[in-house]
């Protein structure tokens, strides 16, 4: 095991044993790279290709999700046409922030689920709350094994005629609300969404769309990992529509006022 760095000040109770006041890594836990595996870490440590915020809002008659189409490779804007919002079935839509590989892995599993359901042909289809609960179980389980799927998911849909919007993050924290934003959107877009919904709790579809587009614009100004190209998904009783490749109009006139650093 590794030497206790504080062993001079806090001597361990026995060699390679616990030192009072310090964390103790119990031997045989497998969390630290063990020599049997050649010292290789086989658990997720950090995401590679990531997606930034997804915004979701419930309006009068449905739910709307919006997010940009960027997969960032660290600080490089590498993949500029990634669909981070996918249609699950005619009443459910899933959006993901975080590692794209983990999202695509789950996407394949969910698509297979839908196919199996089609084949069963028993009249039952996957409902948004059910998908949300299933995702929570999967993510919490992975986190408990110290190998999380590094994503925050947004599940949106119509459940028994009522719009539903739920969120799960990589450690399994799940909740549902009438307005949710993941990633940087939680700091930047959520205040705007909360204020708009306080003024008018039952928005129309057009108002919700305008609000989300405004939030996406502010995110493009202030989030370094955002892109100008978006997806907007609308789920109503009539069905699901996902619009891709929506460009934003941005106003850079402020630049005329900025001269120097003083």
Residues 6, 10, 12, 15, Cα dihedral to 10°: 50
Shortest CB 96 distance to other proteins, Å: 22
Give the other-Cβ count within 10 Å of 122's Cβ. 7
User: Site map for other proteins, 199-238, x if CB under 8 A?
Assistant: ---------------xx-xx--xx----------------
Return the residue of 69, 135, 149, 190 that touches other proteins, per CB under 8 A: 190
H or E stretch at 114:
helix 100-120
Q: Binding-site residue total for other proteins (CB under 8 A)?
A: 26
Give the other-Cβ count within 10 Å of 236's Cβ. 17
The residues that are catalytic are 44
CA–CA distance, 240 with 167 (Å, rounded to integer) = 19
Residue 248 lies near other proteins (rule: CB under 8 A): no
Residue 6 lies near other proteins (rule: CB under 8 A): yes
Shortest CB 260 distance to other proteins, Å: 7
CA–CA distance, 204 with 202 (Å, rounded to integer) = 7
Cβ-contact 85, 95 below 8 angstroms: yes
Query: Is the Cβ of residue 164 or residue 184 nearer to other proteins in the bound state?
Result: 184
Would you tell me which residues interact with other proteins (CB under 8 A)?
Answer: 6, 9, 21, 184, 187-192, 194-195, 214-215, 217-218, 221-222, 253-254, 257-262
């Amino acid at each position: 095991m590794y030497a206790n760095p504080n062993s001079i000040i806090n001597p361990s109770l026995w060699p390679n044993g616990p030192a009072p006041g310090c964390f103790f890594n119990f031997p045989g836990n497998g969390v630290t790279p063990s020599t049997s595996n050649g010292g290789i870490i086989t658990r997720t440590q950090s995401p590679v290709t990531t997606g930034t915020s997804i915004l979701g809002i419930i309006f009068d008659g449905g739910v709307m999700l919006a997010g940009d189409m960027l997969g960032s490779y660290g600080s490089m804007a590498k993949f500029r046409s990634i669909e981070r919002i996918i249609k699950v079935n005619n009443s459910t839509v899933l959006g993901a922030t975080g590692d794209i590989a983990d999202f695509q892995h789950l996407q394949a599993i969910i698509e297979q689920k839908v196919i199996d359901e089609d084949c069963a042909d028993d009249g039952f289809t996957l409902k948004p709350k059910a998908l949300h609960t299933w995702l929570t179980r999967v993510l919490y389980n992975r986190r408990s094994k110290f190998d999380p799927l590094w994503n925050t998911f947004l599940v949106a849909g119509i459940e028994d005629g009522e719009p539903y919007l739920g969120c799960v993050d990589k450690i399994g924290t799940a909740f549902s609300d009438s307005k949710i934003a993941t990633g940087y959107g939680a700091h930047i877009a959520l205040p705007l969404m909360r204020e708009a919904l306080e003024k008018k709790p039952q928005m129309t579809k057009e108002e919700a769309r305008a609000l989300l587009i405004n939030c996406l614009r502010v995110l493009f100004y202030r989030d370094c990992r955002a892109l100008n190209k978006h997806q907007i998904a609308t789920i109503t009783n009539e069905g699901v529509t996902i619009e891709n490749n929506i460009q934003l109009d941005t106003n850079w006139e402020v630049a005329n006022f900025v001269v120097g650093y003083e």
